[in-house]
Amino acid sequence: MKIAMLGSGFIGRFYADSLQGLRSKDKIVAIYSRREESSKKFAEDYKVAFSTIKMEEAINRPEVEVVCIALPNNLHEEAVMLCCKHKKAVITTKPLGRNAAEAKRMLEAVEQAGIFNGYLEDLVYTPKFIKAHESVKNGALGRILWAKSRETHPGPHSDWFWDLDQAGGGCILDLGCHCVEITRSYIGKEIKPIEVMCWADTQVKPIDAEDHAIALIKYENGAIAQFEVSWTFRGGLDLRDEVMGTEGTIWVNSFLRTGFEMFTTGKGADYVAEKAESNSGWLFPVGDEINELGYNHMFADMFNSMENGTPPRETFYDGYVVNAVLDSAFRSAKTKLWEPVILDIWRGLEGVTKDSHLQEYDADHYLVKEELTHYGAKKVILKNKTTGKILEKVLS
């Protein structure tokens, strides 16, 4: 693929390292940056033939096959509309929009233009997530009841993240978009999110947006998701997921305490890992950061899908659903109430009822629990279907 990269900053360089290092057949042929010196430096570092400070010039080049958006949130819609104008396939960093209204306009525009669209939600492409998700899909955990995702760190790298107008929100939008799509994937993307309860506050940073938030998301089938996000966490980048079902549990730690630990005085030390706060003391490096954060699998899915004429795992529609959920979180943080998720466009299941949680033991009883005791006895806890009485039965 021949790619126009829009954005030469932190995420654009992460993307470039993956794009030009994974399949060995993809090449960035144009780079747009808002600052000329940044555009030229990126072109020099990644051997890009064309650099510009005019967005449309990068997009409307004949050799460009796909446009990769790595820009501040407030510029996503402008870039997407130019891709639609020039009929260029487009993939964009998260979140899709600053709110669901922006996301909906972009979704409708790319579909009307008939162009390929991909939502670059890297954390549902990490090797650990892919393995865990396959286990969930194969039924290893039974019916999913609860999914939790946590992303916390000391705050983002660039100035625009801290500006409410440009970013559209604080840590809820920046980090919550990851967590919503992770938990939504475990529960089932065909299951409708129906309401959100969220607490948010500005606890540490001198900003207008929230720097810490916790939320619950109810799904139509009775499952519940939870996210914890923060720009106030000290100690690096903390990415953790938990999934609980009727038949099992999965715990995933994607970045901290993953089996690679190092102590150093700091002499000769340099970059350790994304969001690491120190290069001395006990550190937790990451073996292959680009791969562990999902970039390689994400771009492979995008480009393989493009070549095969199929939609990728994550499309603009997914980005729109995420934005709608986060809009509800922002409303709830203000009203202190459960707020409905407003989805003008819904393509999943309708009218899903809560799955039956009652497991029959025999004609007269439901099974509450069965266990083997420390003294060797097998027993079951039962509930009488008629009377509701709980009883214990020793089997051996």
Tokens of 270: 């340099």
- The answer to the question of residue 358 being in a domain is no
Say what the pLDDT of residue 21 is. Answer: 84
Worst-scoring range by mean pLDDT, 37-46, 110-119, 214-223, 347-356?
Answer: 347-356
**Chosen domain end from 97, 120, 143:** 120
| Whether the predicted pLDDT of 228 surpasses 90 | yes
Mean pLDDT, range 142-163, rounded to an integer: 95
Answer yes or no: is 349 within a domain: no
Percent of the chain whose predicted confidence (pLDDT) is above 70: 98
Report the range of poorest mean pLDDT among 67-81, 172-186, 372-386.
Answer: 372-386
In terms of domains, do 144 and 286 share one?
Answer: yes
Per-residue pLDDT at 13: 95
| 356 belongs to a structural domain | no
Q: What is the pLDDT at residue 133?
A: 97
Give the span between the Cα atoms of 284 and 271, in whole angstroms: 11
**Residue 21 within a domain:** yes
Residues 170 and 252 in one domain: yes
Domain span including residue 29: 2-120
pLDDT band for position 258 (cuts 50, 70, 90): confident
Q: Are 197 and 335 contained in the same domain?
A: yes
User: What pLDDT score was predicted for residue 269?
Assistant: 63
Considering only residues 285 and 289, tell me which one the structure prediction assigns the higher pLDDT. Answer: 289
How many angstroms separate the Cα of 53 from the Cα of each of 35, 210, 378?
A: 6, 32, 73
What pLDDT, on the 0 to 100 scale, is given for residue 145?
A: 96
Residue 28: is its pLDDT beyond 90? yes
What confidence score (pLDDT) does residue 396 get?
78
Distance (Å, rounded) from C-alpha 116 to C-alpha 79? Answer: 14
Report the CATH number at residue 130: 3.30.360.10
Q: Note whether 136 and 76 are same-domain residues.
A: no
Q: What beta strand segments (E) does 123-237 contain?
A: 144-152, 193-201, 212-219, 224-230
**Higher local confidence (pLDDT), 87 or 274:** 87
First to last CA, the chain: 66
Residue 241 · residue 250 · CB < 8 Å = yes
Instruction: Judge if 104 and 137 occupy the same domain.
Output: no
Segment 8-29 mean pLDDT: 91
pLDDT of residue 268: 66
Residue 64 DSSP one-character state: -
Q: Residue range 152-177: average pLDDT?
A: 96
How high is the pLDDT of residue 160? 95
- If asked whether residues 75 and 147 sit together in one domain, one would say no
Q: Which of 249-258, 351-360, 380-389 has the highest mean pLDDT?
A: 380-389
The per-residue pLDDT for 266 is 79
Residue 274, pLDDT score = 67
Considering the domain architecture, whether residues 203 and 283 belong to the same structural domain is answered as: yes
Taking 80 as the threshold, does the pLDDT of residue 356 lie above it?
no
- For 206, residues 6+ apart whose C-beta sits below 8 A from its C-beta are none
Mean local confidence (pLDDT), 24-30 = 92
Both 228 and 333 in one domain: the answer is yes
**pLDDT score for 23:** 78
Quick check: 276 pLDDT over 80? no
Same domain for 100 and 176, yes or no, is no
* pLDDT for residue 272 is more than 80: no
What's the mean pLDDT when you consider all of the chain? 94
Q: Are 5 and 30 within 8 A, CB to CB?
A: yes
Helix (H, G, I), strand (E, B) or coil at 321: helix
Left (φ > 0), alpha (ψ -120 to 50) or beta: where does 236 sit?
Answer: left
Domain membership of residue 360 (yes or no) is no
Residue 357 lies in a domain: no
Look at residue 195 in the predicted model and tell me its pLDDT.
Answer: 98
Q: What is the CATH number of the domain that holds 69?
A: 3.40.50.720
| Total of domains in the chain | 3
Same domain, 332 and 257: yes
Q: What average pLDDT score do residues 152-163 get?
A: 94
- What is the structure's pLDDT at 85? 98
Predicted pLDDT at 271: 72
> Percentage helix, strand, coil, to 5, in the chain?
35, 25, 40
- Give me the pLDDT at residue 277, please: 78
6 token code pair: 């829009």
Does 352 fall in a domain? no
Same domain for 106 and 198, yes or no, is no
Nearest to 174 by CA among 196, 155, 188: 155
Res 73: pLDDT: 98
Could you read off the pLDDT of 48-90 as tens digits, one per residue?
A: 999 999 999 999 999 999 999 999 999 999 999 999 999 999 9
Q: Has residue 297 been placed in a domain?
A: no
**275 has a pLDDT exceeding 90:** no
Peptide bond connecting 95 to the previous residue in cis, omega within 30 degrees of 0: yes
- Round to whole Å and give the CA distance between 40 and 245: 51
Same domain, 128 and 106: no
In the listed set 89, 120, 151, which residue is the last one of a domain according to the structure?
Answer: 120
78, 98, 120 — which closes off a domain? Answer: 120
Strands 193-201 and 212-219: antiparallel
